[in-house]
Structure 1
Amino acid sequence: MTALLFLLPLLFHQLPDAVCTVTTIGDQTVLEGQSVTVPCHYTPQYSLNVKYWCQGTMREFCSSLARTDNPESAPLAKGKVTIVDDPSQNIFSVTMRDLKESDTGWYWCAVEVGGMWNVDSTASIYITVIHGMTVVNSMVTGQEGGSVSVQCQYSEKHRESEKRWCRSGYISSCKTTDSNGTFSSRSLLISDDRESIITITMMNLEMRDAGWYLCGSGQQQVSVHVLVTPRPTTTPSITTEHPSVLKSEDSKSRAFWHPALMVCGALLLLLTAVLVPWRIREKCKREPEKRAVDATKAKPMVCLIWKHIIGIESWRTRQITQKIGGMVDIPCHYDMKYRQHNKYWCYDARGAFNYCKILAYGNTTRERVTVIDSPAQSLFTVTMSDLQSGDTGMYWCVVEIGGHLEPDDKEQFYITVKSDPDLSVMHSSVSGHEGGMVSVNCLYSSNYQKKKKQWCRSKDWSCYTVGRTKTSQNSSVQISEAGTGSFSVNISELKKSDAGWYWCKTETLQIPVHLFVSDAIPVSTSVTRETDKYLMTTIYSTVTTPKNTNDTNKSKREQDNRHRKMLDWLLLAAILGLLLILLSFVACILKKKHKDNKMETRERSSNSAVQKTPAENIITYCTVTNIKPQSAPTQQNTVTYSCLATANKNTTLSQAYEDVIYHSEVKESHHIKHN
């Protein structure tokens, strides 16, 4: 019985919660500086009770921020909290404004029940205030030719920052707001209200505009997917002309010259599509005529484009394997104009450059990474020591360009660290004397036994392949298999210009090797004196350095150059010939069409002038004169018929006599005598 008495207060303690249920929405995440409104629902019997909003981990000890009976009694709210009760709807709402990160925590919607044994009915919600950006709708859809709008919200700390809109994966496509918080172009409008919302409107949508975009400010950005749907299909209107309007001559001429132009154009395109890529391929695959190539000279832009399109010697991502606990040196070449720019080495295990972690800047050492910049050689070198399996991932050599519209210049590497690397070298750095010889052994695993092996120079990507010898390649570089699991590279007649970075390569794997060439050994003369008891002879021996005899190779190179120039001229002549044929076809067609039009005009004018006149349409012109007698006795009457002429009206005459009129006169006289 005593135990039951102790349980009764607990039962009464829970009774209000069972009778008066207060509910609210789920947990909320709000950007710093923005507002949030929370609805709190309650049962009808408590419509007249006091409602309040409090903050705290436990409801029994939470701090009241606003009450419906006395809004001024909550000094902790500092005017940022508003509570409004609507008994007719059985709901009261709480609005919190200008939130800070420190406002993150538990909050309670509460209805004051009253009484010693009654506990207020409450519902909890956790509000998180973050610093960053969010998007109202992460997926929007627009119709081709129309427009679409995206609203991105940002926290208080980003109010004065410039806002940007970028296509994901294309940093150079970023458009940023100006000092007024706007950006405007024919197809894009960005507007920042300088409070918490940036509005992006994409206009004149095209199908290619579909994809992922980034809405960003400072280091914060959110992803938005834009979907573009095609225009609705419409039934095309058909205009019918009367057959008499069509000209049979035009259809005949069109039937003649349309196929001719199509055939000629197809031949020209076919010739261009075959010969031009072939010439570019030959030019880009051609090894340098000298191994000493000036570091400031770069390959033509057309070769770089060709490499990325066709894939000739294209190493978009260099893959390097290294042994656990080992060290790797990586050369990073850059353009001379970037000598004064910052360089750095960064890493991201997922391969996302936008989120890579900078491990070290130029001429600094940070933990196990050292970056040394050599502006005189347009090169900086990255050294990573004590490699571990956790270091596997994507790395970038980066030259910092600056600005949102111009991306940083970078080169990509994927480094795999494991106990047994698939490609390695005996020595990552070798040295020799000018005029001497060096050897490099490249080791590979059994998986690459039948793969192509190469030795390539880093700065110009000129390569030598095992089992392939070209006359254009320098004969002083010899590459061959050195047994199972290795191939060797021998470089003789070393020059100072041979110094630099090279790569052992098999398929996609590569490993860097540095070659250092020192000064030649100076010429010396030694005198040896041999003495015999019967004969004393003085022998002079001289040690000289080997001579370079490359006259034969030079003449071959000159002959190859002449052949290549001849092929270039033949290609140009063929293209010009096809153009002349095409122009001739067009000229003949235009001339024929002009002549046909002239004949047609002449025939129409002749038909309109020539008309047949009936034979009965004859007009007779006549003059009749009566002469009266002069005296009575003379009984004579004279009648004269004259000027009788006939002519046919509208009679068509020949061209030679069309201006001549023929006429005739008939005269007759009668004399009557009286007896």
Structure 2
Amino acid sequence: MSQLSTITLFLLPWIPAFLCKVTTEEEFAVLEGGSLTIPCHYEPQYASYVKYWCQGRTREFCTSLARTDDHHLVDPAEKKVSIFDDPVQLVFTVTMKDLKEDESGWYICGVEIGGVWKADDTTFTKVKVIHGMSAVNSMMSGAEGSAVTIECLYSERYRESEKKWCRSGDWRSCLSTGSDGSYEDSSVAIRDDRTGAFTVTFKKLQMKDTAWYWCSAGQQKTAVHVLVTPQPTTVPTVPSQSFPDLPPAKPITRETWSSHSPMLASVVVCSSVIFLAVVAILAIKFWRLHKSDRVPRDVEEMRAKFSGCSREAGDFQNAAVLFLNKDSQDVHIVLMISAGMSAVNSMMSGAEGSAVTIECLYSERYRESEKKWCRSGDWRSCLSTGSDGSYEDSSVAIRDDRTGAFTVTFKKLQMKDTAWYWCSAGQQKTAVHVLVTPQPTTVPTVPSQSFPDLPPAKPITRETWSSHSPMLASVVVCSSVIFLAVVAILAIKFWRLHKSDRVPRDVEEMRAKFSGCSREAGDFQNAAVLFLNKDSQDVHMY
């Protein structure tokens, strides 16, 4: 009996730990030098307790990094590790900035209970920090004669390494930074700020600069494509013409001017009608041309062949393109894809009563997996898709297109919907925060005002009409000048837009390279496809 009592007293402090009153995800991954935010959920009885974040596998040997009762006057934006408690949502969030690879390991979300007979309520999570390098934009373009700057990002460990900029397929073209972290000649300038990024600037682009390039730091490298477009042509000016001397014009008298007043009124009315009609027609044509500016049919077919590929940013983190044969321009492509999932926008917001849609992306391997939408900290709230890939109730609708993405739509937002949520596919998940703002107040309408009756207008006689003849002449001249100017401007814009509505020459050449490839699914396992972005004209590579 005494032994049973001893065991009971020993296990009593650890009972809260088994009840799992503090929860978070088991594992998080982030690139070296990046930031990570982790939500930790707790039960209502812990709303007023102190929360903390520490590094270690056990509470007794855990290094404290942040506490909610630490009230030092330090700007949270300047802290490497910051903590924020939201007792309304029953969650506290921890943000870690500028993470290093050696900071990978186990961490603890904890609620400090205190006392001899009660242990702190805690949960564990693992953080993985990986290293590498990338480009802010891997597809750059600019007009001939303009300047363009490429920004290449690298991990902390490559801060002191030599940085290089090389034309793909020609390693003799490599340009390296010196001991001061810079390089410059008449056409290219390289600057390394030694804080995680270096820039390459083409001072004056030439058509021959169109190519694939490599950003390199140490043994790491990433590919960047530069596309130079032809310089826009200017409208030639019409040379001035000389005319023979004309006889002097007859002086305009009051009598001759008055005799033409009816004609001037007609000209004013006709000019106004013609001006409005021409502006309306050109505006409609301009809108229709812009609306019909679609990606070419061949690119659409190529996109359809790869519609099953994952669209997650992390899946293409280690993708690379190699041009091995400089003479034949043969293209050999190595594409390394890692599985995962993400959200198009991890921070969503909407007004109370409105609708909002969240798009969650997943990898190919999770196409047939069950998709879930869960409120973080309450797994009983999970909503799952059925065999038809959909779910719907009075407040939420889930649709899975089985091609790499599923959407979650809140039909009518309520204030209580503000929370952290999880998109889930198989064993993969990603966090999304939904913020509901109060419904905007409407501005009261101003009541209509009544005005006293105005005196009747005076009848227009020949004398009053004649007195306004100079004003009518000014209106005619101004209307004509404005009409001609607007027509000329719209015609030039219409011509330029029509001229620029074509696939860039380099994309056509690269499409021709792949025109002989087999279209079976297995033949495209290690292939790459270029997609044109309709809005920004960027080229996306898969």
TM-score under structure 2 length normalisation: 0.34
Greater fraction of residues in strand:
1
